[in-house]
């Protein structure tokens, strides 16, 4: 377990962000998912050439992010972004984007 | 006599102690009027995004957004207007959707901030009380640092066009009026400045226009920096491939004076004559940051903040986001939206008396066009680590060559981020 994941689980166990938020996703997950939306559009819904990521199947989302990171899936910019997040965050973001219609 | 917030804290006798836990704000505001109140100054990429996410993540928070302009004019893509491939209409957007989200828009200028009373004073005469204040003014251009610039600017002869708007439209007109065989002189401020790749993209966009409309023309780029400050490979490739012989690049050439009558830019090496002059002076954090005592770095130029919450390191309950912040993060519109999201999440937690996320993440994605069909990008994710600040994740970086797919993504990025900020 890395220091980052320890910090993450400490934050989660402290109940960080769980109360007072409409969605089931914790605020760390919502905030890191919001970093995606500056390119992919509000709620992950793109208006143009950049693919939409709202409503994707969670497992599909997680596999794409892992494949971008490993290089198994070639893209333009996504490898650089995929390296910025942990596998646990891929899972959390995938679960969150699956709920966005 | 009503009990103001300072008196309230005095009476409670524990102002400093409870402020550390974040409970002071909540109790003070609850005593005063129920919902906590966040006031945001500036409805650009940072401020408008922060307002939106505060309402999304903290529906019980009252949000007031103060902005003097009627419309949002985007700096990203404004270089494309100079190149003639987009119009002012394309980069100009309304604020109509923000009130629908429950955000109170106030069209006014801030003329003072009383951080002890937590009050913002407006030019129109009224004052607004806040529990937390978010300053997102963008940059102030230091027009005094280049002798003669202010007169030339007032006369409409020389503009910086480093804030998109009327100056963008005027610079485009000057380029259109320039005869074939003319010289366009542009200066690049010494770093840090808003949008590191912006000057070099501008050179590409103007070169793309000249190549088609007035191919005998030249561009002289006077750079105050020792080298191309961002995406060097991408821009060198474009200049050599698409515009050979058109762009003359002079590093270490900061202008100290401009003459809008003789049309000369002076550096310590040369007097450079041009037909269109575009001088971009150095910049600092917006004036409202100084009013709040938050323009607090050693030179009094930028704002130092706790980067996990974007709260000023010297002024409690005042947050600063976007280009005004001093950090290792690039000063881009995209980054401002990421500051805004981290700041909004932190404020929601602080107002609820909870601990803000100890490990926030911000990402930067910055596309630059190299012609009217090609773009490249730089992208980085930064993770906050206690004691270190934002640490760049591996594999961040820039493309070495522009292409058509990235041009399509560049256009799509603009549409999506405008929708994200204003939709």
Q: Tokens representing B16?
A: 């400093």
- Nearest chain A Cα to B363, which residue? A35
The count of C-alpha atoms lying within 13 angstroms of the C-alpha of B188, restricted to the half-sphere facing its C-beta, is 28
CA angle B346, B417, B324 (to 5 degrees): 55
CB contact under 8 A, A81 and B338: no
- Omega before B192 cis (within 30°)? yes
- Segment A3-62, tens digit of pLDDT: 444 444 444 433 344 434 444 689 999 999 999 999 999 999 999 999 999 999 999 999
The full 3-state SS of chain B, as one line of letters, equals CCCCHHHHHHHHCCHHHHHHHCHHHHHHHHHHHCCCEEEEECCCHHHHHHHHHHHHHCCCCEEEEECCCCCEECCCCHHHHHCCCCCHHHHEECCCHHHHCCEEEECCCEEEEECCCCEEEECCCCEEECCEEEECCCEEECHHHCECHHHHHHCCCCECCCCCCHHHHHHHHHHHHCCCCCEEEEEECCCCCCCCCHHHHHHHHHHHHHHHHCCCCEEEEEECCCCCCCCHHHHHHHHHHHCCCCEEEECCCCCCEEECCCCEEECCCCEEECCEEECCCCEEECHHHHHCCCCCCCCCCCECEECCCCEECCCCCEEECHHHECCCCCCCHHHHHHHHHHHHHHHHHHHCCCCCCCCCEEEEEEEEECCCCCEEEEEEEEEEECCCEEEECCCCEECCCCEHHHHHHHHHHHHHHHHHHHC
Measured between alpha carbons, how far is B392 from B362 in angstroms, rounded to an integer? 10
Q: Residue B33 has what pLDDT?
A: 59
- The span from the CA of B152 to the CA of B167, in Å, is 13
CA torsion angle A48 A51 A57 A58 (round to 10):
-120
Q: Is residue A80 classed as helix, strand or coil in its secondary structure? A: helix
Tokens matching residue A47: 């208006």
Backbone φ and ψ of B356, nearest 5°: -65, 160
Q: What is the least distance, in Å, from the CA of A15 to any CA of chain B?
A: 9
Residue B186 half-sphere exposure toward CB, CA atoms < 13 A: 26
Question: In this predicted structure, what is the pLDDT of residue B50?
Answer: 99
- Suggest the residue from A3, A18, A25, A35 to mutate for an interface test with chain B (most B CBs closer than 10 A): A35
Contacts of B311 (CB under 8 A, 6+ apart): B305, B317, B318, B319, B346
ipTM: 0.89
The CATH-assigned architecture of domain B5-68+107-140+284-355 is: 3-Layer(bba) Sandwich (3.50)
pLDDT value for A25: 84
- Rounded to whole angstroms, the Cα distance separating B12 from B131 reads 17
Please answer whether residues B322 and B44 qualify as being in contact, where contact means their C-beta atoms are separated by less than 8 angstroms: yes
Residues in chain A whose Cβ is within 8 Å of chain B: 4, 7-8, 11, 14-17, 19-22, 27-28, 30-32, 34-35, 37-42, 46-50, 76-77, 79-85
Same fold, B5-68+107-140+284-355 and B148-283: yes
Distance from CA of A19 to the nearest CA of B (A): 9
The token duo for B74 is: 């985007």
Cα dihedral B232, B238, B244, B250, rounded to 10, equals: -20
C-beta atoms of B420 and A42 within 8 A: yes
CB B367 within 8 A of CB B203: no
Read off the tokens for B1: 């006599």
Sign of CA dihedral A18, A98, A47, B410: positive
- Residue B4: what pLDDT? 43
Report the DSSP beta bridge partners of residue B319: B134, B311
| pLDDT score at A19 | 39
Q: Verify whether the Cβ–Cβ distance A11 to B358 is below 8 Å.
A: yes
Segments of chain B scoring below 50 in pLDDT: 1-31
Question: What would the two tokens of residue B49 be?
Answer: 């995004």
What the block records as the tokens of B374 is: 């090609």
H/E element, A11:
helix A3-13
Closest alpha carbon to B63 in B112, B13, B134 = B134
Give the burial class of B269: count Cβ atoms within 10 A of its Cβ; 0-12 exposed, 13-18 middle, 19 or more buried: exposed
pLDDT at B6: 38
Distance (Å, rounded) from C-alpha B339 to C-alpha B337?
Answer: 6
Each residue of A74-93: pLDDT tens digit?
Answer: 999 999 999 999 999 999 99
What's the CATH fold of domain B148-283?
Answer: FAD/NAD(P)-binding domain (3.50.50)
Domain ranges of chain B: 5-68+107-140+284-355, 148-283
Whether residues A80 and B334 touch (CB distance < 8 A) is answered with: no
Reported as a single tens digit per residue, the pLDDT across B325-360 is 999 999 999 999 999 999 999 999 999 999 999 999
Contact A90, A48 (CB under 8 A): no
What tokens appear for B258 in the block? Answer: 């401009």
Give the per-residue pLDDT at B20: 37
Catalogue all structural domains in chain A, each as residue range(s) with its CATH number: 3-99 (1.10.760.10)
Q: In angstroms, what separates the C-alpha of B212 from chain A's closest C-alpha? A: 27
Give the pLDDT confidence score for residue B28 in this predicted structure: 42
* Contact list, B399 vs chain A (CB under 8 Å): 76
CA A21/CA A1 separation, integer angstroms: 28
Residue B18 has a pLDDT of 35
**Cα–Cα distance between A19 and B159 in angstroms, integer?**
50
A17, closest residue in chain B (CA to CA): B349
Helix H or strand E segment including A38 = helix A27-40
Give pLDDT tens digits for B298-321.
Answer: 999 999 999 999 999 999 999 999
């Amino acid at each position: 377990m890395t220091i980052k994941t320890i910090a993450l689980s400490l934050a989660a166990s402290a109940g960080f962000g769980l109360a007072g938020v409409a969605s089931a996703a914790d605020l760390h997950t919502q905030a890191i998912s919001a970093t995606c939306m500056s390119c992919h559009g509000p709620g992950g819904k793109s208006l143009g050439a950049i693919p939409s990521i709202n409503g994707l199947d969670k497992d599909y989302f997680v596999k794409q992010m892992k494949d971008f990171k490993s290089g198994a899936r070639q893209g333009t910019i996504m490898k650089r972004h995929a390296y910025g997040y942990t596998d646990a965050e891929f899972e959390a973001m995938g679960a969150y984007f699956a709920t966005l219609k | 006599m009503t009990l103001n917030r300072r008196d309230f804290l005095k009476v409670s006798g524990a102002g400093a102690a409870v402020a550390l836990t974040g409970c002071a704000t909540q109790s003070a505001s609850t005593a005063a009027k129920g919902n906590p109140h966040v006031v945001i100054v500036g409805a650009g990429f940072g401020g408008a995004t922060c307002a939106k996410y505060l309402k999304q993540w903290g529906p019980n928070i009252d949000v007031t957004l103060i902005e003097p302009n009627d419309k949002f004019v985007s700096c990203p893509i404004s270089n494309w207007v100079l190149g003639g491939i987009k119009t002012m209409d394309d980069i100009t957007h309304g604020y109509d959707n923000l009130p629908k989200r429950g955000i109170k828009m106030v069209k006014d200028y801030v003329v003072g901030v009383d951080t002890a009373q937590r009050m913002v004073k407006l030019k129109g005469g009224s004052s607004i009380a806040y529990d937390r204040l978010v300053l997102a003014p963008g940059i102030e251009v230091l027009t005094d640092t280049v002798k003669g610039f202010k007169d030339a600017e007032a006369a409409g002869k020389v503009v910086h066009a480093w804030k998109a708007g009327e100056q963008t439209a005027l610079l485009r007109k000057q380029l259109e009026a320039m005869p074939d065989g003319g010289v366009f002189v542009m200066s690049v401020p010494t770093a840090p400045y808003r949008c590191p790749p912006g000057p070099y993209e501008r050179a590409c966009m103007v070169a793309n226009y000249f190549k088609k409309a007035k191919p005998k023309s030249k561009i002289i780029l006077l750079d105050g920096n020792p080298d191309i400050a961002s995406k060097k490979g991408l821009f060198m490739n474009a200049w050599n491939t698409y515009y050979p012989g058109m762009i003359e690049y002079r590093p270490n050439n900061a202008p100290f004076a401009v003459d809008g009558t003789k049309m000369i830019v002076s550096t310590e090496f040369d007097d450079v004559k041009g037909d269109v002059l575009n001088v971009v002076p150095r910049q600092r954090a917006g004036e409202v940051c100084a009013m709040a005592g938050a323009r607090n770095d050693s030179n009094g130029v930028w704002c130092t903040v706790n980067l996990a919450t974007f709260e000023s390191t010297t002024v409690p309950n005042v947050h600063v986001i976007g280009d005004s912040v001093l950090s290792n993060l690039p000063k881009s519109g995209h980054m401002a939206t990421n500051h805004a999201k981290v700041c909004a999440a932190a404020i929601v937690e602080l107002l609820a008396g909870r601990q803000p996320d100890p490990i926030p993440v911000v990402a930067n994605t910055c596309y630059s066009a190299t012609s009217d069909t090609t773009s490249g990008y730089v992208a980085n994710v930064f993770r906050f680590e206690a004691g270190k600040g934002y640490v760049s994740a591996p594999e961040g970086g820039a493309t070495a060559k522009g292409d058509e797919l990235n041009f399509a993504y560049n256009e799509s990025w603009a549409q999506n981020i405008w929708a994200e900020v204003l939709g």
